Structure 1
Amino acid sequence: MLTRITLLALLFTLFLSPVFSQQKIQFFQTDWGNQLSIDEFLQRVKNDGYDGIETWFPYDEAKQKELKAGLEKYDLKVIFLHGTSKGLPFAESLKVYEENLQKIIAWNPVKINSHTGSDYWTLEENKAFIDVTTKASKASGISIVHETHRSRFSFNVPLTVEMLKLAPELRLNLDISHWMVVHERLIGLNDPLLQQILPNVDHIHARVGFAEGPQVNNPAAPEWGSALKTHLDIWEHIIRNSGQEIYTITTEFGPPPYLPTVPFSNVPIADQWEANVFIMKAIKERFAND
């Protein structure tokens, strides 16, 4: 006969624990290359099932008002992009970076995604930007992540591992498509160096890269099946092991020239929006039975 404690434990396992194990994924659409008005763009984002957008912070006050009104109208969230000005001397760039970061924080976005540092600067110089964001994130409660991106401190896997040793509190946005082309190979989930990085990933840019480029021409094409699966395996592993109740993903297939075009006509050979929606649906399918 079951004791009262055993019965309660069984009921918890059967009825309560699944509630705590469920994860919600919030999808954000990039506005990279957008040619629509803000209202038309946000309406399309909402209609296609996204939770929000990721965009560079607009420093123009009129654009800020228009964006805020549109987000409220369509009940959409926002992740803001922020970046290091590589054209400025290090000290000046750091000062501007910190000042602009505070302006973005005032908006209270879901997250801030930073294009951080420069591949021409030392680890210590690049770490100075990370230190600024770590302090600001703790003070504001806003998650600030650093995108793995070519030309930044995180342009390759080994240097990102080195930075994690210097700055263990570093949080990342993984856009692994950059690393695929930098290292000229599909980096698999079980790569030993990659495994050291994945626990620090709090946001994902979902774009499929390959050995010769950061973006396949069409992720739905069967010839890219292996590359697609490699990326999906990594993304699924990150989400399931993150411990976060809500995980954020931005679908980030870009416009021409990231998106290949037909020679002479410059006509895109695929549809950027359709590629991003395809990726969102492919990720959702991985979690459909949860």
Structure 2
Amino acid sequence: MASVLRFRTVWGISPGTNYENWAKWFPTLKKQGYAGVEVDFTDLEDLPTIRRIADDAGLEISVLSVFPHSTSERLDLNLPDLRIHAQWPSYAGPKPPGPAPKDLLQDYRSKLQIAQSLKPYKINAHSGNERWTVDEAVEFYSGTLNVDAELGLTGKVCHETHRNTAFFSPQSTAPVLQKVPKLRVTADFSHFVVVCERLLDVYEEDISAIRTIIPHVGHIHARMGTTQASQCPDPTHEVYKEERKYFETVWKQIIDATATSSEPITFVPEYGPFPYHPFNAQTTFSDVADSEGARLHPIFESHAHSAVASRQ
């Protein structure tokens, strides 16, 4: 049976001077049952130190890869470009025109090479442009598979279903995956739900698209959202019972599709700070991440065990 590995996002948690905060925090995460951390290395320096403190705590690293912005922006800021994100700096200000697929592929390669210094267990990519046609997206994602293979990263890179990327909705994602069958994705369906303004288990068009996407999932961002927000402040509250039912059902469907694999199932309870987390919420986003991770982990393990047993 595939094991279930829980990763903790460092989103919203300051690393401190010389990563002192993370060095103190990472051993606590290990004790809480996390197998690793997910790190967005945008604007971070001294990546070997991050790798060292993760090793010291016995944690793997999943790299949140943030695709690059324009060369002129990098020069203006006088910063090294350590991004493998969508082409929008910190998602702030007007969105710049998107690059052509072939241009983004060049940056994709260079940023993966930087990410390799972290010896990533997995790489989660915010990639592509929502303005692309299906053919443009197919061109880019087909090219990423070639780059992955050349760098020895085949199977490690998962492209997230995320707003402001080519995979911003079920209907933009499924047709690409049908034409690039070996591509793997990170399932963050909270973005789909808020983009579509509906839970995705009612209309056959949505159900069919999700059914197409699920076999490609190699990593899960297990965050509950609503039709009007990409993050629930209290996922166990009764007011979110319909959302909780939907998300737990679709996550179990993903586990059904992967449970017999020898590859571990990896997930991140990816709850982040304001504006994802509501202002003046009763519980901090960090506490929600930890409580949801602890709640979901045994649910996922139990379902994986049942999925395997049902096929024997």
Tell me the alpha carbon deviations over residues 182-212 of structure 1, each in whole angstroms, 9 at most, x when there is no partner.
1111113981221111111111001001111
107-116 vs 129-138, which moves further: 129-138
Corresponding residue number in structure 2 for 1:175 = 188
- 2:24 aligned to 40, 64, 85, which one? 40
8 Å contact from structure 2 (residues 61, 118) kept in 1 = no
87-96 vs 142-151, which moves further: 87-96
8 Å contact from structure 2 (residues 108, 144) kept in 1 = no
- 1:110 to 2:131 alignment: no
Distance in 2, matches of 1:65 and 1:105, equals 10
Corresponding residue number in structure 2 for 1:127 = 138
2:22 alignment partner AA? I
C-alpha displacement of 1:73: 0.6
8 Å contact from structure 2 (residues 233, 283) kept in 1 = yes
Provide the aligned length of Structure 1 versus Structure 2: 263
Distance in 2, matches of 1:164 and 1:209, equals 24
Tell me the alpha carbon deviations over residues 137-188 of structure 1, each in whole angstroms, 9 at most, x when there is no partner.
3341441110000110010111111111221221110000001111111113
Distance in 1, matches of 2:28 and 2:106, equals 37
Corresponding residue number in structure 1 for 2:110 = 99
C-alpha displacement of 1:59: 6.5
The 5 A counterparts of 1:268-283 are 268-283=281-296
TM-score (norm 1): 0.83
Corresponding residue number in structure 1 for 2:233 = 217
Distance in 2, matches of 1:75 and 1:123, equals 41
TM-score (norm 2): 0.78
Corresponding residue number in structure 1 for 2:52 = 69
Indicate the structure (1 or 2) with the bigger Cα radius of gyration. Answer: 1
Distance in 2, matches of 1:107 and 1:130, equals 23
Corresponding residue number in structure 2 for 1:226 = 242
Corresponding residue number in structure 2 for 1:165 = 178
C-alpha displacement of 1:277: 2.1
The 5 A counterparts of 1:227-246 are 227-242=243-258, 243-245=260-262, 246=264
Corresponding residue number in structure 1 for 2:34 = 50
1:167 to 1:44, Cα distance in 2 relative to 1, 3 A: same
Q: Secondary structure at the match of 1:241?
A: helix
C-alpha displacement of 1:60: 5.0
Detail structure 1 runs of 4+ shifted over 4 Å in the superposition. Answer: 58-61
C-alpha displacement of 1:58: 5.6
1:215 to 1:61, Cα distance in 2 relative to 1, 3 A: closer
Structure 2 unaligned segments of length 5 or more: list them: 16-20, 69-86, 88-95, 306-312
8 Å contact from structure 1 (residues 155, 179) kept in 2 = yes
C-alpha displacement of 1:23: 2.5
- 2:211 aligned to 177, 195, 214, which one? 195
C-alpha displacement of 1:29: 0.5
Distance in 2, matches of 1:78 and 1:148, equals 20
66-75 vs 242-251, which moves further: 242-251
Structure 1 unaligned segments of length 5 or more: list them: 1-21, 263-267
- 1:137 to 2:142 alignment: no
